[in-house]
Chains A and B, each alone.
Chain A
Amino acid sequence: MAGRKVWKEVVYHILVALGAFVMVYPLLWMVFSSFKPTDLVLPTSDRLIPTQWTLRNYIQGWKGFMGYTFSTFFLNSFFISITATFGTLLSSSFVAFALQRTNFRLKKLLFVLVLSTMMLPAQILMIPQFMWYRHLNWVGTYFPMILPYFFAIQGFFVYLIMNFIGGIPRDLDEAAKIDGCSYYGIFFRVILPLIVPALVTSAIFSFIWRWDDYLSALLYVDRAYMRPISLALQLFNDPSSGSDIGSTLAMSTLSIVPATIIFLIFQKSLVEGIASTGIKG
């Protein structure tokens, strides 16, 4: 009986590990191929491990195109993603606090509107927003990619933080009130320090989504030196930029390094974040 159980476990682990390998195979292929000499990438595409290792693709690729190296594109992406994420965290936690811990006449309506923004993703708003930003003379600047995020436009984050605040005992608010705290004091002194885990989860998602945001870059960035990595990579992929498959794969690999590192570090809180927002929906 015990022997059968052990066998079952072994088979289970072999199958699940095999499945996991199949799942990440495409990514492994990209990473390993980026270390192959570029003219061997396609002829040896059925084997994962390079027979010859080289860093040439990284050195060659980093030089970029049209006079800008990939340091420019990476810095642009970091700048946009970090500022937009900061704005999202700040504004979303304000609004989440208002909807969860205060009472006012329009609260219900606002809550419905927050939820409706979750149903109104960027793809539907792409044309309307483009025309509006054009009126505002924002096309060709980073404004459309940063400023809106300071106004809690992503209901997902408000909702995520609201759920988290909902789990904090109201006695803490009451105690702070008795100690003479205003609602502003309650938010900054009591709630904000306690919602750090929710902020971490939100920050991870926001950062990765901003980092990957190709659509806004395509719509709003026209000058080469302002390109974030998503747009730069797409243009670099085009053979007319003078790139080859090796350097394209090398730069593609580098472009997913930040998200992968963040994922590996914060894996646990990320997983919990998805689970908690999912359940309540």
Chain B
Amino acid sequence: MTTVVNRRKPRTFKSWITQESTAGYVFSLPFIIGFLMFMLIPMGLSLYYSFCKYDIQNDPSWIGLDNYVKIFTNDKIFSKALGVTCYFALVGTPLKVIFALIVALILNHETKAVGLYRATYYLPSIIGGSVAVAILWRRLFESNGTINAIISKVFPGMAGYNWFSEGPAIWVLIILTVWQFGSSMLIFLSALKQIPRELYEAADVDGAHGIQQFFRVTLPLLTPTIFFNLVQQTINSFLAFTQSKLITNGAPRNSTLFYTVYQYNKAFPNQGKSQMGYASALAWIMLILVSVVTILLFKTRNKWVYDG
């Protein structure tokens, strides 16, 4: 009642503060402040620094586009890191999403144990981001580690295989990310539950069974979910940091150097001066790149996503 009266001209503080739009702003205030303080200002600051030479010790000095020019014309490690990251994202993400879909299809089964299975398959995802798992992964793939010990029972030639040499090292990280397909799997599972039974019954009547049902009914109806998972997981893999920093730290010969790790190393090098301006430019390029990839993914959406 009061809100209607007060909407136009609040007379007292009390009537002003209780009107709908004021309440809306008051409740949004944390985000408004947070966005300015922790997103917009830092981004603006780093945009400015990306045009500067800045080593933290001394004041930044304006050098125009030099950082960007150098990155694109005279930085072999940049293109290497970009290549590694794209490879990881373009190989790892589809594998992960396909795995998630296959396991979801298998677990979409009426049985009492399904909750337990679901939880077990999801467990690696919930703790996969921890330092503990990074340490564990390094140990597992060590040349005298468990993976080799088990594989060499079947293939004795694999004993002592060096997983951390130039070719396979990136695969150690890809396997780690694919192992964590759990949250995509859960999203698929709940999407599968929402497909109406009648559609399958209708398909049965029309004589479509098994595989045909999957390709004609299930898969088209899952395309929005596949799309969502692809977008989310692609962004995640472009930004992978902890695991690659801890497990390989770019070695050997930058063959696992992720973009984020390269950026970190520029800003906080083990030796030599910090290149904050350069790292800021790298951060901005990454931001633009991730946005472009996201937009491209959305552009392809109409071509294959079925919106019912």
Contact = CB atoms under 8 A, between A and B. Distances in A.
Tell me whether A and B are bound partners: yes
Contacts of B33: 151
Interface of B: 1-3, 18, 20-35, 37-39, 41-43, 45-46, 49, 56, 103, 106-107, 109, 111, 113, 115, 117-124, 126-127, 129-137, 139-140, 142, 144-146, 149-150, 153, 179, 183, 186-187, 189-191, 194, 225, 228-229, 232, 235-236, 239-242, 246, 260, 263-264, 267-268, 276, 279-280, 282-283, 286-287, 290-291, 294
Contact of B189 (A126, A180, A275): A275
A245 interface: yes
B164 to A, nearest CB: 16
A260 B120 CA distance: 11
A27 B268 CA distance: 32
A214 B264 CA distance: 13
29 contacts: A23-B123, A46-B149, A91-B30, A98-B25, A102-B20, A104-B28, A107-B28, A117-B35, A121-B236, A121-B239, A125-B39, A126-B241, A127-B46, A127-B263, A127-B267, A128-B283, A151-B31, A182-B18, A183-B18, A184-B18, A209-B129, A234-B246, A249-B135, A259-B126, A275-B187, A275-B190, A276-B190, A278-B225, A281-B228
Contact of A16 (B29, B106, B291): B106
Contact of A98 (B28, B122, B133, B291): B28
- Residue of A17, A23, A106 most packed against chain B (CB within 10 A): A23
B83 to A, nearest CB: 18
A17 B117 contact: yes
Contacts of A106: 25, 28
B189 A94 contact: no
Interface string A242-281: 0001001100110110011001100110110011101101
Interface of A: 9, 12-13, 16-17, 19-20, 23-24, 26-27, 29-30, 42, 45-46, 90-91, 94-95, 97-99, 102-107, 110, 113-114, 117, 119-121, 123-132, 134-135, 148, 150-153, 158, 177-178, 180, 182-184, 187, 208-209, 211-212, 214-215, 219, 229-231, 233-234, 237, 245, 248-249, 252-253, 255-256, 259-260, 263-264, 267-268, 270-271, 274-276, 278-279, 281
Given A9-B111, A259-B126, 10 more contacts: A121-B236, A129-B42, A131-B49, A131-B276, A153-B34, A212-B129, A229-B131, A249-B135, A252-B136, A264-B119
Nearest to A93: B27
A27 B132 CA distance: 10
A152 B34 contact: yes
B150 A46 contact: yes
A209 B127 CA distance: 9
A126 B113 CA distance: 42
B145 A42 contact: yes
B24 A30 contact: no
B183 to A, nearest CB: 5
Nearest to B238: A123
A95 B38 CA distance: 16
B131 A255 contact: yes
A234 B138 CA distance: 12
Contacts of A17: 117
A103 B123 contact: no
B60 to A, nearest CB: 10
A50 B149 CA distance: 16
A106 B26 CA distance: 12
Contacts of B276: 127, 131
* Interchain residue pairs A-B with the least CB separation, the first 10: A151-B34, A275-B190, A98-B27, A278-B187, A128-B46, A183-B23, A104-B24, A102-B24, A46-B149, A128-B42
B127 A259 contact: yes
Contacts of B115: 267-268
- Residue of A102, A110, A135, A233 most packed against chain B (CB within 10 A): A102
A256 B28 contact: no
A13 B113 contact: yes
Nearest to A262: B126
Contacts of A16: 106-107, 113, 117
A128 B241 contact: no
